[in-house]
Amino acid sequence: MLTLADLGVLAGIEVDAGEGDAGEGGEGDGGHGAGGAVTAWLTPTYSGCPAVAEMAADVDRRLRAAGYRDVRVRLRLDPPWSTDLITAEGRRKLAEAGIAPPRPGAAAAAFAAAGPVPLALGPTRTAAGAASAASAASAASAVTCPQCGAADTEELSRFGSTACKALWRCRACREPFERVKEI
C-alpha cells in the first residue's frame, strides 16, 4: 500500500501530549496521549488537488482510531510539494502498481536551471522528425515502462486520471501506463 508518507505528502506530525502523559512522543502510552492533541501537516501535490479533502479526512480518521482526541489536519503549501519528496519506497510501490515513477532529483535539476521558461504556441501533435517530436522522444527515453521495463515509450497525453499523472504507452509491450509528472 502506498502511503501519504511514501508520496511525501505527509509533511509532519506534531504531538502535544498534554498533562499526565509521559511527554512528547509519549513513552508511557505509546504516544497516543489520553486526550493529547495532534496536528498533521499535509503538502498536496497540487494546490487545487481534489483529493486533499479525502486525504485530510483519512488522516483524521486514522489518528482518532489511534486514540488521539484532539486532531487537526492542516495544509502546508510552503515549501511546495515536489516529486523529489517521493521516497525510494514510494517509487518502488508506484512501479509495482503499474505507474511509472518520476526520476529521482528531476524536479531539483529543473529548478536549478531556473530562468525564463520558453513558451511556444502551436499544435500538440506533430509529424515525426519535427523539433518538438525529437524533444518528446528525448524526454520519453528517460521513461521506463513499469510493465516490461523497456525504455521505448511515448507520451500519449499530458493529462491522466489525475492532475499529477500523464498517460504513456510502451512501444515494446504496447501497454498504456500512467506516469507521475515531474514537478
Number of domains, the chain: 2
Is position 101 within any domain?
yes
Which ranges of the chain would DSSP assign to H, the alpha helix? 4-7, 52-65, 88-96, 106-112, 131-140
Which range marks the domain in which residue 161 is found?
Answer: 97-110+130-180
Same-domain check for residues 102 and 163: yes
Same-domain check for residues 175 and 104: yes
Same-domain check for residues 71 and 102: no
Same-domain check for residues 40 and 103: no
pTM above 0.95, yes or no: no
* pLDDT reported for residue 126: 57
Residues 6+ apart with CB under 8 A from 126: 132, 133
pLDDT in tens, 45-81: 987 888 999 999 999 999 999 999 999 999 999 999 9
* Cα angle 36, 39, 43; round to 5: 165
Same-domain check for residues 61 and 105: no
Same-domain check for residues 9 and 40: yes
Q: Which residue stretches of the chain have pLDDT < 50?
A: 19-31, 129-131, 133-134, 136-138, 140
DSSP per residue, 43-55: --SSTT-TTHHHH
- Report DSSP state, residue 74: E
* pLDDT reported for residue 52: 94
Is position 125 within any domain?
no
